[in-house]
Amino acid sequence: MKESLNESSMSSPRSAAGPLSLFRAIVYATLLAGALDATDGVVFFGLQGLNPIQVLQYIASGLLGAQSFRGGLAAAALGVLVHFAIAFVVAGIYLLASRRIKTLRRQWVIFGLVYGAAVWAVMSLVILPLTAVAPNQVTTAALLNGVIGHALLVGLPIGFFAGKVKKAA
């Protein structure tokens, strides 16, 4: 039995290039920037001998301290949640600011790159020292990976989605 097509089933889905609601843009930016940043961390620290579970447990150690490294997959899952919660806040800040500061939308490449590097600096120099993460020495490689990685893999995707938000009414 053939199904008949009606007009609603033939209408095209919303174009990926079309404007997004602010919330949808924040969610998309969170997912993309969070996934890219997590991948960068797993690869970078993997080259230094850590496995992905340990990388995620390190993120959870901001809340749990050294106990996170004995917490197995539960601590790693907490690390994923914390990582994406931070990405949501970071994306939300830029996207909300871009509603008032049009330059953040219009020149999203430049400001996204700068924002990503600034996010790394604030997280590394201000936020992490206030958490239960054990202090560690930042190597030149970690500094370069952190700044460049956050500029390209966090700031740039967030800036991109700022340019996709529907204009405020």
| Model pLDDT for residues 15-40, shown as the tens digit of each residue | 456 799 999 999 999 999 999 999 99
Q: Is residue 13 part of a domain?
A: no
pLDDT band at 13 (very low <50, low <70, confident <90, very high): very low
Structural domain count of the chain: 1
Q: Is residue 9 part of a domain?
A: no
Flag whether 76 is in a domain.
yes
12 within a domain of the structure (yes/no): no
Q: How confident is the model at residue 3 (pLDDT cuts 50, 70, 90)?
A: very low
Q: Please list, in sequence order, all residues whose beta carbon lies within 8 angstroms of the beta carbon of residue 33, skipping any fewer than 6 positions away.
A: 87, 90, 91, 153, 154, 155, 157, 158
pTM for this one?
0.87
**Residue 147 falls within a domain, yes or no?**
yes
Mean of pLDDT values over 3-9 = 43
Write down the pLDDT at residue 93. Answer: 98
Distance CA 112, CA 93 (A): 12
Q: Does residue 71 belong to any structural domain of this protein?
A: yes
Domain that holds residue 93: 20-162
Residue 120 has pLDDT above 80, yes or no: yes
Residue 158 within any structural domain of the chain:
yes
